[in-house]
A and B are shown apart, each in its own frame.
Chain A
Amino acid sequence: MTIRARVTGAFLAAVLSTTAFNGAFAAEDTIKVGILHSLSGTMAISETTLKDAMLMLIDEQNKKGGLLGKKLEAVVVDPASDWPLFAEKARELISVDKVSAVFGCWTSVSRKSVLPVFEELNSILFYPVQYEGEESQRNVFYTGAAPNQQAIPAVDYLMENEEVERWVLAGTDYVYPRTTNKILEAYLISKGVKPEDIMINYTPFGHSDWQTIVSDIKKFGSAGKKTAVVSTINGDANVPFYKELGNQGIKAEDIPVVAFSVGEEELAGLDTGPLVGHLAAWNYFQSVDNPANAEFIKTWKAYTKSDKRVTNDPMEAHYIGFNMWLKAVEKAGTTDTDAVLDAMIGISVPNLSGGYSTMMPNHHITKPVLIGEIQSDGQFETVWETPGLVVGDEWSDYLPDSKDLISDWRAPMSCGNFNVATGKCGGKGS
């Protein structure tokens, strides 16, 4: 009895002391920011960099005095490239760590898996990666490109400047390439391209034997019309794909490849000599020449203590998203979710490609679109850019299911899928 009492007492004391400690910790008063990026597993290759970028941004902000007079504190979790774990970790960040906003996710499937959590616990997610669109959620801000901010301008560029008439749409077999290719196919056909001039090809994740497909592309390209490849091939599969292209002698002058998932980071693992002239469409390149970008690159290299680290488009998206959130919190004077959600719309911050990005009522942002050619040093050279900013279009106008839908999260509409034909909130999609 006495022993048990003593044990219970000790236990209680321990609990009390931890709460006291927690209390003391809270008294220091920080604003917590959640970082939800995979640090292990297959997606670590892309997502680890974003975690580092976020830590750097938070660090820099603290040097400037934090936010609302408080220091920012990063809470990093590792969802390990495991989609259900993303939802668990998101729940942990929001309900245990009480973060004010979360920056995270890369793949669409991980985003879809955390959506219900953010909705249920009413928190904020900033999603920094180009994606297939067809979604607009009250609790999510999409700082990456929607299809009309990447895929469609790229196709336009090829049609106008390279006079391409035949198209290979090659992608990894999952939701982003499939939806993007569906949109592109509809778009190309609406531009008068014949269906037999479009070849669609899907490969599994991590596909490494590209011999047949590359030779198919060669064959498809020998029909006497200018041919281009639009690649939504994801992650690791790109390196063997480009190696095979180089070895089979497909030159960019003959059959250019424009990629939507290949950035500076992916090229870092490649000898880019044979790839010069192949294209990528993004909203930011490290090579963009302006003072804000130069400053960002300098800070990044200093932060990572490596001269070789490159910057890329999703990093810029986090940069924009983070600065928007800071501004919105300052405007709202609180980190309360509802107040920040309201304050976010219309917020405008400088981006790194030399202009301003604005948060639109559909929770997507305005961005310039850049087309770059791969250089032998692994960087891109901008060969074309949209004359102005492009507003992210969440519901594609080229898909029959979504062409009537719009999204506007301002009161009184407050709807992510308003059907203009029926005049009601709630259509296809989510």
Chain B
Amino acid sequence: MYRILQTVLVALFLFTAVPSGLRAEEALRDLVNALGEAKLSDMDEHIAALAKTGDPKVVAILEALGEGNLYARKADGQVFLTKESGSSLSLTDPVSGEAAGEAPKAALSKVKVNNGVRRAVRTALGSLTLLSPDRNARLKAAQSVLQSPNAEALGAIENALAGEKDGEVRTLLEQARATTLLISERPVEEKREAVRTLKERGGRGALSILSSALGSADETLKPDIEAALASIEQDQALWAAAQNVWYGLSLGSVLLLAAIGLAITFGVMGIINMAHGEMVMLGAYTTFLVQEVLRSSFPGLFDWSLAIALPLAFLVTGAVGLAMERGVIRFLYGRPLETLLATWGISLILQQSVRTIFGPTNREVGNPSWMSGAFELGGLTITWNRLWIILFALAVFAALMFLLRKTPMGLQMRAVTQNRRMASSMGIRTPWVDALTFALGSGIAGMAGVALSQIDNVSPNLGQGYIIDSFMVVVFGGVGNLWGTLVGAFSLGILNKFLEPYAGAVLGKILVLVLIILFIQKRPRGLFALKGRAVEA
């Protein structure tokens, strides 16, 4: 009797419990497989349905969908999470989480995503992961609910807020709550509070939320929103000025990098070097080659690619510079016109050979992770690559100053450029000093190329874009004076950036040129003119 009862109970258990688990799994599987057949316009509903199940597996599925890693098998319409492995894809079952072998790409079709789908995924993921035990996941979730507010998520946000301990996540959640509140049906008083929270947050994000809320807001709330908007805008105007200075410094550092090599070859040695831009270009191509080798042989070292490329670029372009000086330029000292033509010819030759070897199209030079993205500093957005380039430009400048002022080689260089015959009489081998100085200038241009490859195209035309600007900086700053180049570069950068918002990029550039022409009329020797006998000689 007892035994029968036991069997019946077990059977009952099996009949109810197990199938209900199975049934939930089946339902989830159906929902996932439906993604494979859904039209882009219906995806929103499918994603919402998935999110509604509240199943923890949904997070991984939605993440894969957002990243474009969800594929449907053409044969039976089964949808899988995939990972690239060689030319085929390795499959994972989305419901059981078990590996499901590999399949060639041709046998699968990707579940299509567009911006709308990605937005829906972001919203769904936001409310799903708000309670995640992982702090970073919660932070990301808070950011996404802030970015794509959804009135239905308000309850979830308040729920999460009640249990949140982490300060940063809390602030974000509070802002998210305020944002969501504004579009919800809550009473005006709560909304007023929300406006205050957003006003404190400030920034463009708050501006955007408040101005979109303004249109549909209650009449009694409107003055509050308008006041908040005005105060944020005032704040923004101040920050905008600071941001402009930063952009100017950043443009200035690029100009400085491009011009500093020329400050040696043209400024110190007086050679009109039209091939200067091509040295920059060769430096950038060296970076490309270094990255290619690292990508194929040592992928782990990719973040070091720039550090490895720097000395190599210096050596490569320095050697090209040395060859140029020994082969062509030394025969042309004292004949500026011929030098100009000869170096221009060399620049064309270099360009076309690079085009022949590497092809005319852009080459991909990646940003190492420490040079990607941006961070916020008050109301400023500072991008990492720009920050590093400013620091790098200043470092190169300092190193060059040190070399010229404190080393025997620098002493010889200055001696030769100031009074060649005297230097020669003192036993300095002036031809070699000339060659080394030119190589140094070229090498520095090559290093600039490494930095510029991070923000510009790596194409055979790279150098052309910088040659005019470089000459402009050197002439404006005062030929023969490195400090002049520094000050010239930064003042031109800032001037350009302050003109740009008012005059536009095209007119801004023209205005800068006009101002320089007027300035040169007034002070033909530039900002910092060299004085003394060397100038007259």
Binary interface profile of B, 362-375, with partner A (CB < 8 Å = 1, else 0)? 11101100001110
CB <8 Å contact, B366 and A271: yes
Residue A201 at the chain B interface, CB threshold 8 Å: yes
- Using A161-B116, A269-B362, A376-B68 as known contacts, say yes or no to A249 and B457 having CB atoms under 8 A apart: no
CB <8 Å contact, A243 and B362: no
CB <8 Å contact, A211 and B250: yes
Q: Which B residues lie within 8 Å of A254 (CB)?
A: 147
Closest Cβ neighbor of B504 among chain A residues: A202
Q: Which B residues lie within 8 Å of A276 (CB)?
A: 68
Residue A27 at the chain B interface, CB threshold 8 Å: no
CB <8 Å contact, A207 and B505: yes
Stretch at the interface among A9-17, A116-124, A147-155, A213-221: A213-221
CA of A308 to CA of B210, assembled, Å:
48
- Using A208-B455, A239-B456, A373-B114 as known contacts, say yes or no to A44 and B355 having CB atoms under 8 A apart: yes
CA of A161 to CA of B39, assembled, Å:
13
Residue B460 at the chain A interface, CB threshold 8 Å: yes
- Using A40-B355, A222-B208, A252-B115 as known contacts, say yes or no to A211 and B459 having CB atoms under 8 A apart: no
CA of A268 to CA of B360, assembled, Å:
12
Chain B contact surface mostly: helix
Binary interface profile of B, 192-221, with partner A (CB < 8 Å = 1, else 0)? 000000000000110111111111000000
CB <8 Å contact, A212 and B501: yes
Stretch at the interface among B166-174, B330-338, B380-388, B528-536: B380-388
Taking CB atoms and an 8 Å cut-off, the chain B residues in 493-537 that contact chain A are: 496-497, 500-501, 504-506, 509
Residue A396 at the chain B interface, CB threshold 8 Å: no
Closest Cβ neighbor of B114 among chain A residues: A383
Residue B129 at the chain A interface, CB threshold 8 Å: no
Binary interface profile of A, 62-98, with partner B (CB < 8 Å = 1, else 0)? 0000000000000000000000000000000000000
Q: Which A residues lie within 8 Å of B374 (CB)?
A: 247-249
CB <8 Å contact, B115 and A209: no
Size bracket, chain A contacts:
35 or more
Q: Of the candidates B212, B373, B385, B459, which one forms a contact with A225 in the assembled complex, judged by CB atoms under 8 Å apart?
A: B212
Taking CB atoms and an 8 Å cut-off, the chain A residues in 238-297 that contact chain B are: 239-240, 243-244, 246-249, 252-254, 256, 265-266, 268-271, 274, 276-277
CA of A265 to CA of B459, assembled, Å:
13
Residue B150 at the chain A interface, CB threshold 8 Å: no
Q: Which A residues lie within 8 Å of B207 (CB)?
A: 222-224
Residue B231 at the chain A interface, CB threshold 8 Å: no
Q: Of the candidates A161, A173, A224, A246, which one forms a contact with B210 in the assembled complex, judged by CB atoms under 8 Å apart?
A: A224
Residue B461 at the chain A interface, CB threshold 8 Å: yes
Q: Of the candidates A40, A224, A239, which one forms a contact with B212 in the assembled complex, judged by CB atoms under 8 Å apart?
A: A224
Smallest beta-carbon distance A350→chain B, Å = 23
CA of A40 to CA of B348, assembled, Å:
10
Residue B251 at the chain A interface, CB threshold 8 Å: yes
Q: Which A residues lie within 8 Å of B130 (CB)?
A: none
Interface size on B, residues (CB 8 A): 67
CA of A270 to CA of B40, assembled, Å:
27
- Using A45-B361, A271-B367 as known contacts, say yes or no to A240 and B456 having CB atoms under 8 A apart: yes
CB <8 Å contact, B504 and A42: no
CB <8 Å contact, A269 and B458: yes
CA of A236 to CA of B215, assembled, Å:
41
Q: Which A residues lie within 8 Å of B496 (CB)?
A: 209
Taking CB atoms and an 8 Å cut-off, the chain B residues in 111-152 that contact chain A are: 112, 114-116, 118-119, 122, 147-148
Smallest beta-carbon distance B422→chain A, Å = 43
Residue A195 at the chain B interface, CB threshold 8 Å: no
Q: Which B residues lie within 8 Å of A268 (CB)?
A: 361-362, 364
Residue B88 at the chain A interface, CB threshold 8 Å: no
CA of A161 to CA of B115, assembled, Å:
9
Closest Cβ neighbor of A246 among chain B residues: B372
Smallest beta-carbon distance B45→chain A, Å = 16
CB <8 Å contact, A224 and B214: yes
CA of A240 to CA of B456, assembled, Å:
5
Smallest beta-carbon distance A264→chain B, Å = 10
Q: Which A residues lie within 8 Å of B254 (CB)?
A: 208-209
CA of A229 to CA of B372, assembled, Å:
22
CB <8 Å contact, B361 and A49: yes
Taking CB atoms and an 8 Å cut-off, the chain A residues in 5-45 that contact chain B are: 39-40, 42, 44-45
Q: Of the candidates B208, B351, B384, which one forms a contact with A221 in the assembled complex, judged by CB atoms under 8 Å apart?
A: B208
Smallest beta-carbon distance B35→chain A, Å = 16
Q: Which A residues lie within 8 Å of B372 (CB)?
A: 246-247, 274
Tell me which of A219, A247, A254 has the highest count of chain B C-beta atoms within 10 A of its own C-beta: A247
Residue A59 at the chain B interface, CB threshold 8 Å: no
Residue A348 at the chain B interface, CB threshold 8 Å: no
Taking CB atoms and an 8 Å cut-off, the chain B residues in 479-498 that contact chain A are: 496-497
Q: Of the candidates A212, A219, A269, which one forms a contact with B500 in the assembled complex, judged by CB atoms under 8 Å apart?
A: A212
Smallest beta-carbon distance A311→chain B, Å = 13
Smallest beta-carbon distance B172→chain A, Å = 16
CB <8 Å contact, A48 and B362: no
Taking CB atoms and an 8 Å cut-off, the chain B residues in 297-328 that contact chain A are: none
Residue B417 at the chain A interface, CB threshold 8 Å: no
Taking CB atoms and an 8 Å cut-off, the chain B residues in 412-470 that contact chain A are: 455-461, 464-465
Q: Which B residues lie within 8 Å of A161 (CB)?
A: 114, 116
Residue B92 at the chain A interface, CB threshold 8 Å: no
CB <8 Å contact, B461 and A206: yes
- Using A223-B208, A247-B373 as known contacts, say yes or no to A253 and B509 having CB atoms under 8 A apart: no
Residue B352 at the chain A interface, CB threshold 8 Å: yes
Residue B243 at the chain A interface, CB threshold 8 Å: yes
Residue B247 at the chain A interface, CB threshold 8 Å: yes
Smallest beta-carbon distance B264→chain A, Å = 23
Q: Which A residues lie within 8 Å of B211 (CB)?
A: 222-224
CA of A154 to CA of B149, assembled, Å:
27
Q: Which B residues lie within 8 Å of A173 (CB)?
A: 506
Closest Cβ neighbor of A371 among chain B residues: B114
CB <8 Å contact, A48 and B360: yes
Residue B244 at the chain A interface, CB threshold 8 Å: yes
Residue A381 at the chain B interface, CB threshold 8 Å: yes
- Using A203-B505, A253-B118, A271-B367 as known contacts, say yes or no to A383 and B112 having CB atoms under 8 A apart: yes
Residue A197 at the chain B interface, CB threshold 8 Å: no
CA of A351 to CA of B27, assembled, Å:
43
- Using A215-B381, A222-B204, A269-B362 as known contacts, say yes or no to A204 and B506 having CB atoms under 8 A apart: yes
Tell me which of B115, B210, B383, B385 has the highest count of chain A C-beta atoms within 10 A of its own C-beta: B115
Residue A404 at the chain B interface, CB threshold 8 Å: no
Tell me which of A44, A211, A248 has the highest count of chain B C-beta atoms within 10 A of its own C-beta: A211
Closest Cβ neighbor of A382 among chain B residues: B112
CB <8 Å contact, A224 and B364: no
Residue A162 at the chain B interface, CB threshold 8 Å: yes
Tell me which of A45, A209, A218, A375 has the highest count of chain B C-beta atoms within 10 A of its own C-beta: A209
Smallest beta-carbon distance B168→chain A, Å = 18
CA of A173 to CA of B503, assembled, Å:
14
Smallest beta-carbon distance B175→chain A, Å = 15
- Chain A to chain B contacts (Cβ below 8 Å), 12 pairs: A44-B355, A208-B457, A209-B250, A212-B500, A219-B240, A224-B207, A224-B211, A243-B455, A247-B383, A253-B148, A375-B68, A383-B114
- Give B residues with C-beta under 8 Å from A: 40, 68, 110, 112, 114-116, 118-119, 122, 147-148, 204-205, 207-215, 236, 240, 243-244, 247, 250-251, 254, 351-352, 355, 359-364, 366-367, 372-374, 381, 383-386, 455-461, 464-465, 496-497, 500-501, 504-506, 509
- Given A207-B505, A212-B244, A236-B461, 6 extra CB contacts under 8 A: A45-B459, A212-B247, A219-B204, A223-B207, A224-B212, A252-B118
10 residue pairs, one from A and one from B, having the closest CB atoms: A269-B362, A224-B212, A224-B211, A222-B208, A222-B204, A247-B383, A44-B360, A203-B505, A383-B114, A211-B247
- Give A residues with C-beta under 8 Å from B: 39-40, 42, 44-45, 48-49, 161-162, 173, 201-204, 206-209, 211-213, 215-216, 218-219, 221-225, 236, 239-240, 243-244, 246-249, 252-254, 256, 265-266, 268-271, 274, 276-277, 373, 375-376, 381, 383
